[in-house]
Structure 1
C-alpha cells in the first residue's frame, strides 16, 4: 500500500522543447506527480514558459550548465538529484518530454496504481512502447499523445528499454536515464528488489549496481502500465535530430537505422485516450493561465524557425510560423 500523502516526483531534463512542455507537464500533474524540470542553454521561449508555469505553482524549474564535452543529461541528473523535490521524495521517476506513462490499473493516478501493488520494493520498471510517425510528414502543433497512434509489436526489441519509478531517491548516488545507481543498501534484501510491470523480480538489479538501460526481450511487459515513447513524432521533427549528438552520451544516435527500427506503425494504440476527459480539463486550465498560451505559441514559432532553417527555407513564408505569431500577438 502507498500513503496518499507521499511525495511522488517526476524529473525531466529539457532543452528547446517549448512546443511540447505544456502537454507533458499537464500529463504528469494529471497522474499525480510533482514536476521538476531542468534546462540548459535554451534559445527558444521555453525558459520563459517554464518560469511562468512555476510562478503559478505548476512545476519547479531549475537550470544547469554542462561542462565542456559533458553530456547534458549527466549535468541535469546531478542538479536534479540534489534538489529537495528529489531528495525528499518518497518515489521518483526520470523521463523525457517524449515519454508518457499510461497506467492500466487503478483510477489513472500514480497513487491509485501503487495502492493496488506490493510497494515493498525499491523500484518498478515500465517498458517502453515505441510509437512511429503514423503518416505524419510535417510538424503541426497538437497533443502528441493523440496525434501519434501507431506503433509496432509490443515485443519488438526497441521496447526493451524502460523508465522506472523508484523509492527514496536520496538513497542513490546518481540518477540515470532509465534507473538510478549507487544504492546505499543491500540489493539482495526482499524489500530492495526491483520488479517489472507484471510484478516479476528483475535479477539485473541484484547482480550489479551499474546503470541499467534495458531489460531482456522476455521481460518486456505492458501488463499494468506502459511508457509511451514518441521518439519519432513527425518525419520532419525526426529529421532535425539526424546527426546531432544525443544528450545522454554525445553520440550519433539518430541514424537511419534508429529511425527504421522505431518507425513501425502496424498497430493502432489509443490507450492514452482513456485520460481524455481529465487531461482536457487540466490542459485547458494550464492554457488559461496568464501568458501561458502566448508563450506556448512563441515556442511553436521558434520550433518552426528551426525546422525551416534545417531545410534552408525562409520561416516567414511558412504558414505555421505566421499562425503562431498571430496567435501570440492576439494573446
Structure 2
C-alpha cells in the first residue's frame, strides 16, 4: 500500500527527522514537502533527504500568502500523489496516534472498513511549563492535554483526513477533502463511524473542518503539538511574520492549547522504534550535520528574538498566563465559581 503524506513547512528544521521517521513507522511510504522562505536550513535538509529518496521537496508555488492551499492544489499534478493508494495531509507538529492492530495506517483503514476517507480528531498537547528547546522527540516531551472529548466550551474539535485514491475529489482542503457535486463518499471518523451528515456534505460553515470528538477516537487520535517548548513557540511566532510593534500580544491561541488537565502517554508505544529510526537516519553524517545546524539556528533565532523587548514581554506573559482556556474561565466566572481576571 502506497501512502503519501503531503505537508508545507517553513523553518521546521529541528523537527523534520522525527516526523518523517514517525510517519514511516505508521505506514507512510512517501513524503511530499513544500517549503517557503526558510532561514534555518529546512530546505537544505529536505534537499539532502530527497537526494536519498526519503522524500520529494518542492518550492511552494504560492504567489501570495495562501501557501498551503496553493501547494495542495499543485500536489494533484505529481505522481507521488496521483499514484498513491491513500493521501495523508498534515503538518509537522501533528502525529497520527493509532490505537488498533499493529498501530499503523493500514490497520486503521481495515478497522474502519476501508472507507474512501477517514477524518481523525485533534488532541491538543499542552506546553505544561516546558521552557527550553530540547533536541529529542516531541512526542516524548509533551504528555498533557485537554480532556480529549471536549475542547473548552466547544464540543466540536478540528480534524485532519486520510483520503483513498478513488475519493470523488473536487479539491483538497487542509483539514478534509471536498467531494464533487452531490457525491457521497464512504467516510468515517476515528472510531469507524460515519462522519456527521453536515460535515460529509459541507453544509454547515462552522463544521467544515470539525465535528464532535466524543466517542470518535476509539481507533485513532491526532496528537497536535502546536506549542512545544516556550523557546520554540517564540520562534514559531516570528516565523509567522507577525509584527507586534505597538500592539499587545494576544495569548488566546496559547491558552486554548495549553490545558494540562489530562495525561495521555499512549503514543509512547512508538518511542523505542522511533528512537532507533532516528539513530539510523543520523548515521548519515550529512543528514546529522544538517539537522544539527537547524537546531543551532533555531536556538540562535530564540536568542535574537529575546534581545527584543516585545519578545521578552511575550515570554514573561506566557510564563504566567492561566492554564484555563479562555472559554472555560469565562464559564466559571459566569457560574460565580471564580472572580473575573483583574
Which of 172, 175, 178 is equivalent to 1:178?
175
Aligned to 1:43: 39
Mean CA deviation greater in 98-107 or 6-15: 6-15
User: Is 2:192 the partner of 1:199?
Assistant: yes
Of 269, 282, 286, 1:287 maps to: 282
Higher mean displacement: 237-246 or 103-112? 237-246
Distance 2:77 2:286 in 1: 30
Q: Secondary structure at the match of 1:44?
A: coil
User: Is the 8 Å Cα contact of residues 187 and 193 (structure 1) preserved in structure 2?
Assistant: no
Mapping 1:46-125, distance limit 5 Å: 46-68=42-64, 70-119=65-114, 121-125=115-119
1:214 aligns with 2:206: no
- Aligned residue for 2:210, secondary structure, equals coil
Aligned-pair RMSD on alpha carbons? Answer: 2.5
Determine if contact 1:7/1:91 at 8 Å carries over to the other structure: yes
What 5-or-longer segments of structure 1 have no aligned partner? Answer: 1-5, 314-331
Alpha-carbon distance change, 67 to 148 in structure 1, aligned in 2, over 3 angstroms: same
Q: Does 1:153 align with 2:150?
A: no
> If the length of structure 1 is used for normalisation, what is the TM-score?
0.82
CA spacing shift, 1:98–1:65, aligned 2, 3 Å: same
Using structure 2 for the length normalisation, give the TM-score.
0.80
1:230 aligned partner: 225
Offset of 1:24 from its aligned partner? 0.4
Distance 2:77 2:95 in 1: 24
Q: Given the superposition, is the C-alpha separation of residues 303 and 244 from structure 1 closer, same or farther in structure 2, using an over 3 Å criterion? A: closer
Unpaired segments ≥5 residues, structure 2: 309-342
Shift of 1:186: 4.5
Q: Structure 1 stretch 288-297 or stretch 156-165: which is displaced more?
A: 156-165
Query: Quick one: structure 1 residues 291 and 241, their matched pair in 2 at CA, closer, same or farther if it must change by over 3 Å?
Result: closer
How much does 1:87 deviate? 1.4
How far the C-alpha of 1:208 sits from its partner, in A, is 2.7
The alignment of Structure 1 onto Structure 2 pairs a total of residues equal to 297
Distance change in 2, residues 1:220/1:230 (3 Å): farther
Conserved? CA contact 2:121–2:157, under 8 Å: yes
2:318: which partner in 1?
none
Note if contact 2:231-2:302 (Cα within 8 Å) is conserved in structure 1. Answer: yes
Aligned to 1:29: 24
Give me the whole-angstrom Cα distance separating, in 1, the residues matched to 2:117 and 2:45. Answer: 32
Q: Distance in 1 between matches of 2:252 and 2:53?
A: 41
